[in-house]
Structure 1
């Protein structure tokens, strides 16, 4: 009898909690939203409709509801734009309104508590990060200094393709996905830290293995993979995902800090992105902190 009473009390509490959340969401629901599928459910919204591949699902909805439509994904509102004209308007007239990013759990632990350029809310800090990125990292002059790196990586890829695509007098199939992925990451890491982690002539085998593991984990635990980011109540019943992401964040931070410390000991002698930011850190340490440098490595 006592167990039944506890069970009924728990169910009643959960039902009341769900009702309160639903009423709160309804009260705070924005007005004048773009068209939306009518079959939205309490609490979960349109989450039950999602199915992979997600881009084709959005394309199907755009054919029915037009070039801009909205979906309610749990506690979050999603607006999908599939028109180049509307997308241009989003990034020009309404760029400040749409500048904020959703606060996902991965941004807390992997994005240094929402302080990286990819996770920070719009404001003075974000504008400072954008200035650093536009002038010191992604400007044409900075990118042109790494032209030789990109040329060398393409040359290496072409040589590998030339070797691998022939078997005697016969042409052979070549798996391009991993090769192009390796090309991309080698380009990035050679520009960022002067290191090769994929293919032949890897700079440091153990370091490369750690980097690949971290990148794989980071992609696997992206924000869309966590239901608790859309239904926060789920985080009350299990914190396995957050514990895993928190551990990943500490490992990633340790790896990036080792890169920075190594370049600091070498006194910036290979003109990588880390070296350039460390040289700026000497004159403006309050702008170019280690944490900000690590944040830029993450989004590069």
Structure 2
């Protein structure tokens, strides 16, 4: 966050507060904040009038690391003020468990923010929707569609097909562009991103989603803008009376981006609605299991959702759900794969061990298949260790309490926001030996029983409880297949003799800040790539 912007916010806030606000009267001489069931969690020092602790989260230090440093001083559970909002910061696995098990329902809601209002069809996005009947109903429909055996088979087929296609393209690129060194330079961060986007588009919308490659590129550009701006710091999210100023121009940018995304999704929906209107009800029901995910969801929403109940059109519900699933499935998966390959290239002995496991269970005469995954124990450990070291949502998506509760003996009032510092938990030296070292072996020895699915609070990259990531299975299955395939079929080398730059980007998603440009060469016989040259 730019310090000049903070200064502007501070001055503007004071002016707006004096003009439109004023101190609320105390009841019986005591501020209402002191009422509750017991002691409040300690508040970090350094709060300023109006902006609270916002200034402490500015500067070059990443927010999860800054809050991690504050936890060293104020404890594993403390509070801060971000503008007008009180926030409970949790940096300990036991406290995280208390929040997401005992108090799971209490913390099942989400804070309101401008991006969800303007770019998620007025909080229709299942990831940002407040806890209540609408969220429960949509979540149930998504789980039913994703969990069906037939849908799982269709998704697996699409996943395998896309991965094989991109592997062939990589080999063709090497044949075409290899130099005397018999290698070709590839930006693997971009390569992973293109593969994941293509895979998710095919799974959700089918190959006919866009009428042309130009339309597909436009969609990718629009979704990229949508995801970038969804994770920005918006002053009015913390100090609501600043919204009319639109500091930073975020409201204008969000409205423009929302229109661009809506144009793409509306065109797809128009085609689907025409197909459904020209088909009998019985045929629609029978074809649900033969269609891509979003078409099946559209059919189910039209059957089950009463528009009067939620005040949202079925089309907007489906478009918002599309955005939620797409955003959740693409950026996070891309980031984790980029971190994983970066770590492997920097640790060649680990990479060699993973390739030896692949040769043992797959060999060098065929490609990796999904049926091989259960044998690749060390590869799974590499992915776990990557998500431990570099959780792509280091501060899990914020929760908000819907009633008073108790956490760690402290009273947490209704309306308190909850930030779970997954990065700090994943680097807790009381849990993890040498927590900053890349050691996949820990997950095949001492920590082999710890998984990432929300049952072990020492490792929660996908969150836990009611708000656990709905795309967790897709992410794990996709990452395992892609990482196994890429290191089985290709060798990677850093063109520099230095370690790879592992600088993290800011924002909601923790990306590798710089490209991952590597020298690539095939490691299998030409016939395995099934390429006719």
Alignment TM-score, normalising by the size of structure 2: 0.48
Aligned to 1:119: 128
Match of 1:178 among 190, 193, 212: 190
Distance 1:261 1:167, change over 3 A: same
Within 5 Å, which residues of 2 pair with 1:48-197? 48-51=55-58, 52-137=61-146, 142-164=151-173, 166-195=178-207
CA distance in 1, matches of 2:259, 2:116: 13
User: In structure 2, how many angstroms separate the alpha carbons of the residues matched to 1:33 and 1:176?
Assistant: 47
- 1:40 aligns with 47
Question: What residue in structure 1 maps to residue 322 of structure 2?
Answer: 297
Question: What SS class does the counterpart of residue 211 from structure 1 fall into?
Answer: helix
Between 117-126 and 284-293, the greater mean CA deviation after superposition? 284-293
| 1:276 is the counterpart of 2:285 | no
1:12: Cα distance to partner?
9.8
Please identify, of 129-138 and 260-269, the stretch whose mean Cα deviation from structure 2 is larger: 260-269
Change (3 A) 1:168 1:68: farther
Cα 1:271–1:64 shift into 2, 3 Å: same
Per the alignment, residue 215 of structure 1 pairs with: 223
State the 1:250 CA deviation: 2.8
| Cα drift, residue 73 of structure 1 | 0.9
Contact 2:13 2:50 in 1 (8 A): no
- Measure, in 2, the Cα distance between the counterparts of 1:192 and 1:118: 17
- Paired residues, number: 286
Other structure's SS at 2:239 match: coil
- Equivalent residues of 2:42, 2:78 under 8 A apart: yes
State the superposition RMSD in angstroms: 3.3
TM-score of the superposed pair, with normalisation by structure 1: 0.81
- The answer for the alignment partner of 1:226 in structure 2 is 234
Q: Distance in 2 between matches of 1:159 and 1:179?
A: 13
Structure scoring higher RCO (CA < 8 A, sep ≥ 6) equals 2
Deviation at 1:192, TM superposition (A): 0.8
Distance 1:164 1:21 in 2: 65
> Which residue is equivalent to 2:18?
16
Gaps of 5+ in 2: 1-11, 277-283, 308-312, 326-533
Within 2, Cα distance between the matches of 1:45 and 1:12?
12
- SS of corresponding position for 2:195: helix
Describe the SS at the equivalent of 1:20. coil
Are 2:275 and 1:255 equivalent residues in the alignment?
no
| CA distance in structure 2 between the aligned counterparts of 1:106 and 1:69, rounded to whole angstroms | 27
SS of the counterpart of 1:146? helix
DSSP-derived class of the 1:63 partner: helix
Of 142-151 and 84-93, more deviation after overlay is shown by 84-93
**For the structure 1 residues 156 and 289, does the alpha-carbon distance in structure 2 shift closer, same or farther, using more than 3 Å as the test?**
same
User: Do 1:40 and 1:46's aligned partners in 2 also have CA atoms closer than 8 Å?
Assistant: yes
CA offset at residue 177 of structure 1? 0.8
In structure 1, the residue corresponding to 2:104 is in which secondary structure? coil
Partner deviation per Cα, 1:171-192 (whole Å, 9 max, x = no partner): 3443111111112212211111
Identify the structure with the greater helix proportion.
Answer: 1
Where does the alignment leave 5 or more consecutive residues of structure 1 unmatched? 1-9
* 1:185–1:134 distance in 2 versus 1, CA, 3 Å: same
Distance 1:243 1:23, change over 3 A: farther
Q: Judging changes above 3 Å, is the alpha-carbon distance between structure 1 residues 102 and 70 closer, same or farther for their aligned structure 2 residues?
A: same
